[in-house]
Amino acid sequence: EADIYQTPRYLVIGTGKKITLECSQTMGHDKMYWYQQDPGMELHLIHYSYGVNSTEKGDLSSESTVSRIRTEHFPLTLESARPSHTSQYLCASSFPLGGVSGYTFGSGTRLTVV
């Protein structure tokens, strides 16, 4: 069973639309992340959070924004979608002391902007 949930699984949307990708986890993890991955390619960190009301930008510049109002919820928003945003978005979470556990990834959202 999945402990981290992403919705929707697939999304096709027109240019200029506002979208929110949902991510929720039931493990009580403080740390959460958003990665962007093109098919067969590497994972790029775009946002992360250390806990409630904490959000930071990752290494890859992104036009998206995130919020962390509740521990279990870490949504990602694109105010105005463009074809260049077409990609897979993976949400992940971990315990702060990462020495004993790795990241748990959600199944991802495959976004296509037409």
Partner 1 sequence: QQPVQSPQAVILREGEDAVINCSSSKALYSVHWYRQKHGEAPVFLMILLKGGEQKGHEKISASFNEKKQQSSLYLTASQLSYSGTYFCGTETHGGSQGNLIFGKGTKLSVKP
Interface positions with partner 1 (CB under 8 A)? 30-31, 33, 35, 40-43, 45, 48, 50, 58-59, 90, 96-108
Please report how close the Cβ of residue 18 comes to partner 1 at its closest, in angstroms: 26
Please report how close the Cβ of residue 81 comes to partner 1 at its closest, in angstroms: 23
* Of 85 and 108, CB closest to partner 1: 108
* Of 69 and 100, CB closest to partner 1: 100
Distance CA 87, CA 96 (A): 28
Q: Which candidate, 1, 55, 2, 3, places its Cα nearest to that of 29?
A: 3
Tell me the two tokens of residue 3.
Answer: 């402990």
| Helices first, then strands: H and E counts in the chain | 0, 11
